[in-house]
Amino acid sequence: MSRISVYTKFFLIVFANGLLFFTLPDPLVLAITLYFCSFQFVDGRIERGWHWVCITAVFAVGTYLAYLTPDNLIGHYVLFFFVGLGKLLPVVVVGAYISGTTKVSELICTLRRLHVPQWIVIPLSVLFRFFPTIRNDYRQIRMAMKFRGIATTTGDMFRHPVRTMEFIYVPLLNNATNVATDLASASLTRGLTDPGPKTSLIQVRFTLLDASMCLMGLILMGGALYVVM
């Protein structure tokens, strides 16, 4: 389980996306991006942490050097690459952290506690539950197609796109329909439709660690606001 609660992660999303609306001095953006990277370390994902620190560094250096780029097409391309994509980097860092560390059960539990209605929570749980099945199904279908001698290579797949789509979709959707029925049986017989309040085994708590990380974020946010004002 992640050491950082989903609440803090929501805060990170708001923070990172808010950044997009403002133009801030480079050093401050760098500090904030590194702050986002630090969450990887807090959650013990040291290698990942360094990975994102390196990417951040590359963009920082790139943005800095980009001002020196010449006024031709290549220069503009490099400038756009670093400045444009660099702008989105904080959002990507946060996204990578959240999708890499959040367990589905934590997310669901948090949504429940926030009283998100069942008609969102149930489909969302199923969505996560179904991803691995899709990957497995796709592999099986490709194998079956190879034995039939249809679209055996990637090139073939694009040569008859509609036919390929049909061959992949028919078994895929077919299985999806079967799984839907089975999941419905399994969940109905385990009380999914109980109208009473639901509980959660796992606990999503806003800990001292969350508080201190958020505080750090708020300080950076304050700095950003000060600069903007």
Partner 1 sequence: MLSCDQVTFTYEEAGRPSIREVNARADRGTLLVVTGKSGCGKTTLSRIINGLVPELYEGRLEGHCLLEGEETTSQPIHLLSRRVGSVFQNPKTQFFTTDVRSELAFPLENMGVDREGIRERLDQVSELFGIGHLLDRSMFALSGGEKQTVAIASSCMADPDLLLLDEPSSNLDVEAIEALRAILDKLKGLGMTMVVIEHRLYYLDGLADDFLILQDGRVVDHLTPSAMRNLDRERREGMGVRALRLDESSKTATPEEEGGPGLDASRSGQEALLRIRNLTYSYRKGEEKALQVDDLTLSSRDITGVIGHNGAGKSTFANLLTGLLKPDHDQTRFTLDGKPQTAKERLADSYMVFQDVNYQLFCETVGKEILLGARRKDLFDEVASRLDLEHLLKRHPNTLSGGEKQRVAIAAAILSGKRLVVLDEPTSGLDLLHMNQVTEMIRYMRSLGVMVVVISHDQEFLEQTCQRFITFREGRPVRDSPELGDLLQAL
Partner 2 sequence: MNSLKAKDLINIGIYSALYFVCMALATFLTGFVTGLILPGFSSLFVPGIVALVAGPVYMLLTDRVPRFGAITIMGLLMGLFFLVSGHFALSFIPYVACGFLADVLQTIVGKARSNGLRYLSYLIFAFGSTGPVMPLWFMKNAYVASLTRKGKSQAYIDGVFAHISGPTLIVCVSVTIVGALLGAWTGTMIVNRHFARTPAEA
Query: Residues interacting with partner 1, by CB under 8 A?
Result: 103-105, 125-126, 128-129, 132-133, 137, 140-141, 143-150, 152, 166-167, 170-171, 174-175, 178-179, 181-203
Q: Which is nearer to partner 2, 67 or 226 (CB)?
A: 67
Pair 104, 125: CB distance under 8 Å: yes
195 binds, among partner 1, partner 2, none (CB under 5 to 8 A by kind): partner 1
Amino acid at 30: L
- 148 binds partner 2, rule: CB under 8 A: no
What is the closest distance, in whole angstroms, from the C-beta atom of residue 165 to partner 1 in the complex? 11
Q: Cα(217)–Cα(214) distance, rounded to whole angstroms?
A: 5
Residue closest to 63 by CA, chosen among 93, 92, 30: 30
What is the closest distance, in whole angstroms, from the C-beta atom of residue 94 to partner 1 in the complex? 22
Q: Which is nearer to partner 2, 7 or 130 (CB)?
A: 130
DSSP string, 74-96: HHHHHHHIIIIIHHHHHHHHHHH
The contact mask relative to partner 2 for 107-146 (x = CB under 8 A, - = no) is: x---------xxxx-xxxxxxxxxx--x------------
Backbone angles phi, psi at 136, to 5 degrees: -60, -45
Selected from 31, 57, 150, 179, the binder of partner 2 by CB under 8 A is: 179
Residue closest to 114 by CA, chosen among 125, 104, 106, 103: 106
Q: Which is nearer to partner 2, 27 or 123 (CB)?
A: 123
The contact mask relative to partner 2 for 11-30 (x = CB under 8 A, - = no) is: --xx--x--xx-x-------
* Cβ-defined contacts of 43-47 (< 8 Å, 24+): 43/2, 43/3, 43/4, 43/97, 43/101, 44/3, 45/100, 45/101
- 98 binds partner 2, rule: CB under 8 A: yes
